[in-house]
């Protein structure tokens, strides 16, 4: 690869053998279903679903036509708020077939975040599970939009979420003001099928089809807007990186609301006519390995904490995992020892590390399945096919090989932009089309990239990206908090956890428990500070800039004492 690093610069363009797909997700689905109608397409074990591609397509088309008759049109935003379920998969493909834009809503969101997300992108409909773990989705929707209790189904007029017209609930129980999911799937008729075909002829691969919320360092989450072309081709390339074929069966315990599940899982399988296997609504290590054994899965996805839980099972050797060969570990750095454990205990000799961000659909780096273990762990691999990478200094100049700078990406996977956020889009994507990651990286003379730090002060907790500024903005709403600084500190289990330093207002008497309770039902659980300290002042530079690294050092020393 050295010849691809001109003049010893940290720039590389990914080599490609196969062309990209210039088609819509619906077009790809129809094509694959026509070629492989009887191939296994989807297994959702906890819902007893086993469909081949012909059956899967029929169910998708039923939902798509039902959504049309429910009043959903091309360009409308449809939220999906649910753990991993068959309804999630159907919604992903049905919205794509009619040109509606699916909005991924984190299953752990609370009211504060839900209201912001729905209003930010003006969701016309929300498809929601009844509940998951401690989250009671329908109750939260009823709290946010109490008008549901009196309105006609599909005719919601809510003060707090004025664009929301329809709520579709999963399950068979009837709820005032809401459609049932199965009911919508039966609403399609002949004219709706004709209209779906007419719409398909007008859709373009570059149309926006998905919005994923990604937090910012300076406030509320941004809606990364992705096209058919972005995410379908990223799924294609991820699958190619794993050498997926029609014979493969991919176990997907990672959440669908992330690109990891819906792109690197569902779309990777679709593009290669492989079978997507979902073990459960949420993650359980034993359930995952039982699924791999009984379904004869050949591939398994996970963030490092998932693989730790699986390899640490006392009975891991009792599972027959001989069918496994590959999969993706992503979301956080992978220690070499964990990689060796996964190869040995889970039989995943061809496991690959992948890296990227939501804004790049998400993968822009991957390790080859036959790369040495130290390259697969010590780096995030090389740039993916049809993508360009450069590492630059603060003036935008390309750094020499071996020097540290900001990682930038350009190519088919770069998002269209942040939804209705032109200024923030321009801050991230420059005039030449380079997306600035905010990550500090270094490239070696073979093109392998190592992530060495973050310009943006992001925390990665168990594979979840947590942005301090978002938590700070929320904590500022507490009447007794005068000033707050949030940062990450190392943690053996999660990689990092959230720590908050709080200055109280005069006369206040807050406790750590008070602050955590204030957060508990308002922000996602992984954003709630694990540690809260009350301080009189923050370490600052002479120019008044707060030095979070000094706070981090103090906490590391305190906790290790």
324-336: pLDDT as tens digits: 999 999 987 777 7
Whether 372 has a pLDDT exceeding 90, the answer reads no
As given in the structure block, the two tokens for residue 139 are: 């109750």
Strands 77-81 and 179-180, bridge-based pairing: unpaired
Whether 53 has a pLDDT exceeding 80, the answer reads yes
Q: Which residues pair with 398 in a beta bridge?
A: 392
Whether 538 has a pLDDT exceeding 70, the answer reads yes
Whether 198 has a pLDDT exceeding 80, the answer reads yes
Which pLDDT score is estimated for 226? 98
Which pLDDT score is estimated for 544? 56
Q: What's the rounded Cα separation, in Å, for the pair 328 and 256?
A: 15
Which pLDDT score is estimated for 215? 63
State mean pLDDT over 484-505. 92
CA 360 vs. chain centroid, Å, equals 11
Sign of CA dihedral 69, 74, 80, 84: positive
∠ CA 473-476-477, nearest 5°, is: 100
Whether 270 has a pLDDT exceeding 90, the answer reads yes
Q: Which residue has the higher pLDDT, 405 or 126?
A: 126
Whether 467 has a pLDDT exceeding 90, the answer reads no
Q: What's the rounded Cα separation, in Å, for the pair 232 and 234?
A: 5
Q: What's the rounded Cα separation, in Å, for the pair 26 and 94?
A: 8
Sign of CA dihedral 476, 481, 487, 491: negative
Class of CATH domain 2-20+219-454: alpha beta
Q: What's the rounded Cα separation, in Å, for the pair 86 and 223?
A: 24
Q: What's the rounded Cα separation, in Å, for the pair 299 and 205?
A: 28
Whether 439 has a pLDDT exceeding 90, the answer reads no
Which pLDDT score is estimated for 377? 79
Which pLDDT score is estimated for 545? 60
Which pLDDT score is estimated for 304? 87
Q: Which residue has the higher pLDDT, 338 or 83?
A: 83
State mean pLDDT over 335-346. 89
Residue with tokens 């005039």: 431
Domain 2-20+219-454 matches domain 459-560 at the CATH topology level: no
State mean pLDDT over 205-219. 81
State mean pLDDT over 205-228. 85
- Where residue 1 falls among pLDDT bands split at 50, 70, 90? very low
Class of CATH domain 459-560: alpha beta
Q: What's the rounded Cα separation, in Å, for the pair 361 and 238?
A: 11
Which pLDDT score is estimated for 458? 75
Whether 363 has a pLDDT exceeding 90, the answer reads yes
Whether 425 has a pLDDT exceeding 80, the answer reads yes
- Where residue 456 falls among pLDDT bands split at 50, 70, 90? low
What angle, 0 to 180 degrees and rounded to 10, lies between the N-to-C axes of helices 336-345 and 304-311? 50
Sign of CA dihedral 188, 192, 196, 202: negative
Class of CATH domain 53-204: alpha beta
Q: Where are the domains of the chain?
A: 2-20+219-454, 53-204, 459-560
State mean pLDDT over 339-368. 95
State mean pLDDT over 404-412. 95
Whether 2 has a pLDDT exceeding 60, the answer reads no
Whether 378 has a pLDDT exceeding 50, the answer reads yes
- Tell me how crowded residue 254 is: count the other CB atoms within 10 A of its CB: 24
Which pLDDT score is estimated for 454? 67
Q: Among 24-28, 466-470, 513-517, whose mean pLDDT is lowest?
A: 466-470
Per-range mean pLDDT, top range of 55-64, 474-483, 519-528? 55-64
Whole-number average pLDDT of the chain = 93
CA distance to 90, 266, 495, 519, per residue, from 82 (Å): 12, 16, 26, 21
State mean pLDDT over 437-454. 88
Q: Which residues pair with 532 in a beta bridge?
A: 500
CB 281 within 8 A of CB 46: yes
Q: What's the rounded Cα separation, in Å, for the pair 6 and 25?
A: 36
């Amino acid at each position: 690869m050295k010849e691809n690093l001109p003049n010893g610069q940290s720039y590389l363009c990914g080599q490609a053998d196969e062309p990209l797909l210039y088609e819509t997700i619906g077009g790809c689905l129809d094509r694959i279903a026509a070629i492989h109608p009887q191939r296994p397409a989807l297994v959702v074990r906890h819902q007893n679903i086993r469909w081949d591609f012909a059956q899967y397509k029929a169910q998708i088309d039923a939902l798509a036509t039902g959504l049309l008759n429910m009043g959903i049109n091309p360009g409308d935003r449809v939220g999906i708020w649910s753990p991993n379920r068959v309804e999630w998969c159907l919604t992903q493909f049905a919205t794509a077939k009619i040109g509606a834009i699916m909005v991924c809503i984190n299953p752990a969101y609370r009211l504060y975040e839900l209201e912001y997300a729905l209003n930010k992108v003006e969701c016309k409909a929300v498809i929601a599970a009844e509940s998951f773990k401690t989250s009671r989705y329908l109750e939260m929707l009823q709290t946010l939009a109490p008008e549901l209790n009196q309105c006609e189904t599909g005719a919601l007029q809510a003060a707090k979420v004025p664009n929301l017209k329809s709520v579709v609930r999963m399950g068979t129980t009837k709820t005032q003001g809401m459609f049932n999911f199965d009911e919508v799937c039966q609403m399609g008729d002949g004219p709706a099928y004709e209209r779906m075909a007419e719409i398909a002829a007008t859709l373009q691969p570059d149309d926006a089809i998905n919005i994923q919320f990604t937090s910012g360092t300076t406030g509320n989450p941004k809606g990364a807007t992705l096209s058919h072309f972005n995410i379908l081709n990223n799924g294609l390339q991820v699958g190619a990186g794993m050498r997926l074929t029609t014979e493969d069966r991919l176990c997907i315990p990672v959440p669908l609301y992330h690109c990891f599940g819906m792109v690197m899982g569902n779309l990777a399988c679709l593009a290669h006519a492989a079978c997507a296997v979902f073990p459960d609504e949420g993650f359980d290590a034993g359930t995952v390995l039982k699924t791999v054994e009984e379904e004869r899965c050949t591939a398994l996805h996970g963030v490092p904490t998932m693989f730790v839980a699986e390899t640490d099972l006392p009975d891991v050797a009792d599972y027959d995992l001989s069918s496994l060969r590959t999969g993706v570990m992503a979301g956080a750095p992978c220690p070499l020892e964990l990689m060796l454990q996964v190869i040995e205990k889970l039989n995943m000799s061809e496991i690959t590390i992948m890296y990227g961000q939501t804004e790049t659909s998400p993968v822009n780096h991957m390790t080859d399945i036959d790369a040495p273990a130290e390259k697969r762990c010590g780096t995030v691999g090389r740039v993916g096919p049809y993508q360009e990478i450069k590492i630059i200094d603060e003036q935008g100049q390309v750094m020499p090989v071996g020097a540290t700078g900001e990682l930038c990406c350009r190519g088919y996977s770069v998002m269209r932009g942040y939804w209705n956020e032109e200024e923030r889009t321009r801050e991230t994507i420059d005039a030449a089309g380079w997306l600035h990651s905010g990550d500090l990286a270094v490239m070696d003379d073979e093109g392998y990239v190592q992530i060495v730090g973050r310009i943006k002060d992001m925390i990665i907790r168990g594979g979840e990206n947590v942005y301090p500024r978002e938590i700070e903005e929320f904590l500022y709403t507490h009447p007794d908090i005068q000033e707050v600084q949030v940062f990450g500190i190392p943690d053996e289990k999660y990689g990092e956890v959230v720590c908050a330093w709080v200055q109280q207002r005069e006369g206040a008497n807050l406790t750590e428990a008070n602050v955590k309770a204030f957060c508990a039902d308002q922000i996602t659980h992984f954003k709630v500070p694990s540690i809260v300290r009350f301080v009189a002042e923050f370490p600052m530079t002479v120019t008044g800039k707060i030095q979070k690294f000094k706070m981090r050092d103090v906490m590391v020393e305190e906790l290790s004492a």
